[in-house]
């Protein structure tokens, strides 16, 4: 089960808080999300995730590309040590420009 | 002590969380440390999602996991068209796909892909186990 | 869908909660209703404790549980001296022992005791399963 | 894991509250208990039990016999429906003189 909380701290910022399992079986819920025009900043809070697989990572990469296209800043926040390790394993820490641990 | 779980599953996305949960619960009962259980959940998920995504035209697949001598050996076997593991390329930095095999290789102590043209793919994943101090029996 | 759990266990009391927990977790993953899971935990415990208590001189035993077509079939096999199921007497009202077989017979849909003098006892327990409305797959 | 709480509401009453698993592997903790002399009443509260097997039932029967020998009243209290069913299955409801459900 994946839960997605969408927050709008201001009109040009979107904050997604994901919790539960982001995997092959649930990822479409995230992919189906459309981001409004005029986005300047997209924050994705992963602290509530219990599980993520390569399909979940692919969805994050897709969000990253959408933000890039909109010239918005993309940031993954609240990483657990496990997720940080996984993003490192898959070299996504560099793509997402994570600050060093 | 030796433990085996074996499932014959429909090639249906709902089977993936099921086997993941089942194996994780079994490893927890055996007292396997959480980090190793997390790695195994992920390796297993990658192998099984690949069957769901790629193993046309099979409609069932099997998963078995054996724990013996502090080693967990997982076999995911489908009857799809199989694939040539030597032709897999590393995923480009911004590419969305192609990270499943990369993850399996990173997390497993050993990964073997086996293929028989008419019998589909066999993915064999091995992971060395560590146990909590209060693990029951010497599961090792 | 078909699921099997098989364990080779030391004839050690600590093995009983282990297999009980493992099978219960697996049945929970499959969405089996709690009442039936409780019955299975108890049937299984009785069969395994009997191996620990009575199956001299074996030092290992095996337990397998298979779920298929909404039926759970459990086999507990030891290599002790076996016993003659026809010579079991019903427990006297105030007697402490002798209630294990009674409980298995009451809770299982089918109980079979098999015996080969040199190969120990085989206890086979069957239980029909019911599933929660949100059970994954059609585990039946 | 079995937990046993021993209460003495008055000098001639013992109240045992059992919780966790009372089975073949834990039952010795209960059997090892010795009841003081001059006992008039033994209450056994089973509401916290997650699991009981025939070895656990045997330990209850043993307590029942100890109480009988001391001419004390033995009572099983706080039965869950599952336990009531199991005591019925094993005819222990009659031995323990449970009131009808
Ligand atoms: N069970 C399988 N049957 C057929 N092809 C497979 C199987 N598993 C993996 N493959 C092939 O290996 C490729 C790489 O897999 P993977 O690294 O998981 O990335 P992705 O699934 O995102 O393509 C897949 O694109 C597919 O061609
Ligand atoms: N696996 C076994 N090996 C040998 N004897 C057994 C086995 N299981 C049961 N028995 C015999 O059956 C009898 C009845 O078992 P049970 O009803 O569980 O009561 P209890 O174990 O308290 O005696 C036991 O006393 C034992 O003689």
What average pLDDT is seen over chain B? 92
Ligand 2 pocket member C53 (CB < 6 A): yes
CA distance D72 to D12: 9
Give tens-digit pLDDT for B121-132. 999 999 999 999
Residue B140 predicted with pLDDT over 60: no
Range name among B5-19, B124-138, D76-90 with the lowest pLDDT average: D76-90
Burial of D59 (0-12, 13-18, 19+ CB in 10 A): buried
- In this complex, the chains that touch A, judged by 3 or more CB pairs closer than 8 A, are B
Q: Using an 8 Å Cβ cutoff, are D4 and D17 in contact?
A: yes
Helices B100-107 and A54-69 cross at an angle (nearest 10°) of 130
CA distances from B24 to B20, B37, B64, B129 (A): 6, 6, 13, 13
Residue contact A23–B49, C-beta within 8 A = yes
Backbone angles phi, psi at B43, to 5 degrees: -55, -50
Closest residue in D to C91 (Cα–Cα): D90
Q: Can you tell me the mean pLDDT for D27-54?
A: 90
CA distance B81 to D87: 56
C10, C34, C45, C50: best mutation site toward chain D, by most D Cβ within 10 Å? C45
- The pLDDT score that the predictor gives to residue C49 is 96
- The pLDDT score that the predictor gives to residue B55 is 94
- The pLDDT score that the predictor gives to residue A33 is 85
Residue B138 predicted with pLDDT over 70: no
Q: Distance between alpha carbon C31 and the CA centroid of its chain, in Å? A: 19
Q: Give exposure, C5-22, as e/b (b: 16+ Cβ within 10 Å).
A: bbbbbebbbebbbbbbbb
Q: Give exposure, B10-27, as e/b (b: 16+ Cβ within 10 Å).
A: ebbbebbbbbbbbbbbbb
- The pLDDT score that the predictor gives to residue C117 is 64
Q: Using an 8 Å Cβ cutoff, are D3 and D18 in contact?
A: yes
CA distance D55 to D23: 6
Q: Label residue B17 by pLDDT band (50, 70, 90).
A: very high
Question: B62 CB near a chain A CB, below 8 Å?
Answer: no
Count of B–C CB contacts within 8 Å? 78
Residue contact B99–A51, C-beta within 8 A = no
**Nearest one of A35, A58, A43 to A9, comparing CA atoms:** A43
Is the torsion defined by CA of C100, C70, B49, A56 positive or negative?
negative
Residue D22 predicted with pLDDT over 90: yes
Question: A54 CB near a chain B CB, below 8 Å?
Answer: yes
- The pLDDT score that the predictor gives to residue C78 is 95
Ligand 2 pocket member C113 (CB < 6 A): no
Backbone angles phi, psi at B18, to 5 degrees: -60, -55
Q: Can you tell me the mean pLDDT for A35-42?
A: 87
Looking at all shown ligands, the one closest to residue C100's CA atom is 2
Question: D89 CB near a chain C CB, below 8 Å?
Answer: yes
Q: What is residue B99's three-state secondary structure?
A: coil
Q: Which atom of ligand 2 is nearest to the CA of D54?
A: 22
Give tens-digit pLDDT for C71-107. 999 999 999 999 988 888 877 878 888 899 999 999 9
What are the residues whose beta carbons fall under 8 Å from the beta carbon of A92, sequence distance 6 or more?
A57, A60, A61
CA distances from B48 to A97, B54, C43, C87, D2 (A): 30, 10, 33, 50, 39
Question: C99 CB near a chain D CB, below 8 Å?
Answer: yes
CA distances from B121 to B63, C45, C111, D87 (A): 12, 39, 40, 52
Q: Which residues, in sequence order, are bridge partners of residue B115? A: B121
Give tens-digit pLDDT for A3-23. 999 998 898 999 999 999 999
CA distance B81 to B56: 6
CA distance C124 to C112: 5
Q: Can you tell me the mean pLDDT for B19-48?
A: 96
Which tokens is C112 given? 């079979």
Q: Which atom of ligand 2 is nearest to the CA of C103?
A: 17
Range name among B14-18, B54-58, C104-108, D35-39 with the lowest pLDDT average: D35-39
Give contacts of B3 with chain C, Cβ < 8 Å: 5-8, 22
Question: Which H or E run contains B9?
Answer: strand B2-10
- The pLDDT score that the predictor gives to residue A67 is 92
- The pLDDT score that the predictor gives to residue B128 is 98
Mutate to test the pocket of ligand 2, among C50, C79, C101 (most ligand atoms within 8 A of CB): C50
What is the CA(B78)–ligand 1 centre distance, in A?
12
Q: Label residue B139 by pLDDT band (50, 70, 90).
A: low
Q: Can you tell me the mean pLDDT for A25-33?
A: 90
Give tens-digit pLDDT for B60-95. 999 999 999 999 999 999 999 999 888 888 778 788
Residue contact A53–B45, C-beta within 8 A = yes
Closest residue in C to D25 (Cα–Cα): C13
Looking at chain B, the whole-number percentage of residues with pLDDT higher than 90 is 77
Closest residue in A to B107 (Cα–Cα): A89
Q: Label residue B34 by pLDDT band (50, 70, 90).
A: very high
Q: Which atom of ligand 2 is nearest to the CA of C91?
A: 17
∠ Cα D24 C71 C123 (to 5°): 40
Neighbours of C41 (CB within 10 A): 23
Question: A21 CB near a chain B CB, below 8 Å?
Answer: yes
Q: Label residue A85 by pLDDT band (50, 70, 90).
A: confident
pLDDT tens over chain C, length 140 residues: 999 999 999 999 999 999 999 999 999 999 999 999 999 999 999 999 999 999 998 899 999 999 999 999 999 999 999 998 888 887 787 888 889 999 999 999 999 999 876 779 999 999 999 999 989 876 54
Give contacts of B13 with chain A, Cβ < 8 Å: 24-25
- The pLDDT score that the predictor gives to residue C95 is 83
Lining ligand 1 with CB less than 6 A are B 46, 50-51, 53-55, 78, 80, 82-83, 88, 97-101, 121
Contact exists between A and D (3 or more beta carbon pairs < 8 Å): no
Q: Label residue A81 by pLDDT band (50, 70, 90).
A: confident
- The pLDDT score that the predictor gives to residue C138 is 65
- The pLDDT score that the predictor gives to residue D101 is 63
Residue in this structure with the two tokens 């009785």, named with its chain if needed: C46
- The pLDDT score that the predictor gives to residue B8 is 96
Residue A77 predicted with pLDDT over 90: no
Closest residue in C to B138 (Cα–Cα): C10
Residue B137 predicted with pLDDT over 90: no
C4, C13, C15, C29: best mutation site toward chain B, by most B Cβ within 10 Å? C29
**Nearest one of C26, C51, C38 to C123, comparing CA atoms:** C51
- The pLDDT score that the predictor gives to residue A63 is 93
């Amino acid at each position: 089960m994946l839960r997605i909380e969408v927050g709008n701290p201001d009109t040009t910022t979107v904050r997604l808080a994901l919790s539960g399992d982001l995997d092959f079986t649930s990822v479409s819920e995230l992919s189906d999300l459309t981001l409004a025009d005029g986005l300047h900043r997209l924050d994705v809070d992963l602290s509530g995730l219990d599980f993520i697989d390569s399909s979940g990572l692919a969805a994050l990469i897709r969000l990253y590309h959408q933000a890039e296209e909109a010239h918005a800043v993309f940031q993954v926040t609240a990483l657990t040590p496990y997720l940080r390790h996984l993003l490192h394993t898959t070299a996504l820490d560099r793509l997402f420009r994570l600050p060093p641990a | 002590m030796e433990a085996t779980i074996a499932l014959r599953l429909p090639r249906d996305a709902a089977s993936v969380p099921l086997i993941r949960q089942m194996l994780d619960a079994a490893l927890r009962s055996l007292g396997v440390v959480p980090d190793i259980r997390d790695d195994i959940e992920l390796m297993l998920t990658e192998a099984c999602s690949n069957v769901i995504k790629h193993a046309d035209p099979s409609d069932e697949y099997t998963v078995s996991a054996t724990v013996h001598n502090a080693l967990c050996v997982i076999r995911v076997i489908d009857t799809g068209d199989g694939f040539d593991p030597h032709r897999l390329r590393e995923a480009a930095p911004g590419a969305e796909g192609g990270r499943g095999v990369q993850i399996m290789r990173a997390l497993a102590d050993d990964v073997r892909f086996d293929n028989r043209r008419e019998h589909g793919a066999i993915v064999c994943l091995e992971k060395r186990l560590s146990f909590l101090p209060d693990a029951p029996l010497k599961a090792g």
